[in-house]
Amino acid sequence: MEQTLVAEWSQHKPIIRAEQVDHYYEGQNGWIHALSDVNLEIPRKEFLCVIGPSGCGKSTFLKIVAGLIKPSSGTVLLNDAPISGPGPDRGIVFQEPALFAWRTVLENVEFGLQMQKIPKAETRKRAQAILEIVGLGHVINLYPYQLSGGMRHRVAVARAWALPNADLLLMDEPFSAIDAINRMTLQDYLIDTWMQEKRTVLYVTHDIDEAVYLADRILLMRPSPGRIGRYFQVDMPRKRDRNSPEFNALKNLITEEMHKSADPSEDLRDSVVETAK
């Protein structure tokens, strides 16, 4: 009984908690303050999009959560434990899909499951199921060079999603190299996958339209130094209608804030905006 209560309670705890995170890089002309006093929580199963001007520390924050770099100070807790390196509990998708050229689509998706010693039959079943969801059921035996750019991105997403223990998916502009029309298709596949099997997603993008289409909540970061700006709660039901007045009103509001946030004299720190109720 007690154990059940503990399990239920932990479901409501944030999966990520960042506390007073600062990060500096050594640049050619001195230190670059990439992140300043970042404090945030990501609730379990939330789809959080991070946007903000170039250089505001989005990728730095994602890499810290991925365990690829250690912050200069502060801590990031994943399920209450400090992150000390990469792990199978996090799937990562970067801008360029890094697929294994010598493995088929199916074998690429199976790779992470094999690494985790998941039984062969289960691995195959799961990889096939995810590939169906992302619309690649008919090309599972092709090699990456035989696919279009958009298909390769779908394989990368499927590969991250297939990891059964990856409660957290980290995506850094995964579709930014794709043309606008195909990007929308990829966003649909991604949101279909998320709706069928919810995971926590930390998704970095430059594209405000994409953030409003995908996110439960949007974090706008500010530059110089990179820090938390403002949050936007997106309460529109999915799938969202890009032509609806609410969708466009929110897009316009965020665009305006993004312009303001590039101006260091405007301090938007810690302000929260609730929209589209």
The CA distance from 221 to 89, in Å, is 26
| Contacts of 12 by beta carbon, 8 Å cutoff, 6+ apart | 43, 44
Least distance in angstroms from the C-beta of 200 to ligand ATP: 20
The one of ligand ATP, Mg ion, none whose footprint includes residue 25, by CB under 5 to 8 A per kind, is ligand ATP
Whose Cβ is closer to ligand ATP: residue 97's or residue 226's?
226
Count of residues near ligand ATP by CB under 6 A: 14
The one of Mg ion, ligand ATP, none whose footprint includes residue 226, by CB under 5 to 8 A per kind, is ligand ATP
Q: Kindly list the residues in this chain that would bind Mg ion in the complex (CB under 5 A).
A: 59
For the chain, first and last CA: distance in Å?
A: 38
Least distance in angstroms from the C-beta of 206 to ligand ATP: 6
Segment near ligand ATP (CB under 6 A), from 48-56, 123-131, 177-185, 264-272?
48-56
Name the residue type at position 3.
Q
Least distance in angstroms from the C-beta of 58 to Mg ion: 5
Least distance in angstroms from the C-beta of 173 to ligand ATP: 7
- In the region spanning residues 58 to 97, those forming contacts with ligand ATP, defined by CB under 6 A, are 58-60
Q: Between the CA of residue 85 and those of 3, 64, 70, 116, 270, what are the distances in Å?
A: 29, 9, 8, 17, 29
Contact flag: residue 25 with ligand ATP (CB under 6 A): yes
In the list 21, 57, 168, 183, the residue contacting ligand ATP (rule: CB under 6 A) is 57
Beta bridge partners of 272: 231
The CA distance from 85 to 64, in Å, is 9
Q: Which residue matches tokens 């990891």? A: 163
- In the region spanning residues 163 to 222, those forming contacts with ligand ATP, defined by CB under 6 A, are 206
DSSP-derived letter for residue 30 is E
Tell me how long the chain is.
277
Phi/psi at 101 (5° precision): -65, -30
Contact flag: residue 34 with ligand ATP (CB under 6 A): yes
Whose Cβ is closer to ligand ATP: residue 44's or residue 206's?
206
Identify which of 188, 183, 133 has the alpha carbon closest to the alpha carbon of residue 155: 133
Whose Cβ is closer to Mg ion: residue 94's or residue 231's?
94
Least distance in angstroms from the C-beta of 174 to Mg ion: 12
Segment near ligand ATP (CB under 6 A), from 52-60, 86-94, 238-246, 248-256?
52-60
- Interface positions with ligand ATP (CB under 6 A): 25, 27, 32, 34, 52, 54-60, 206, 226
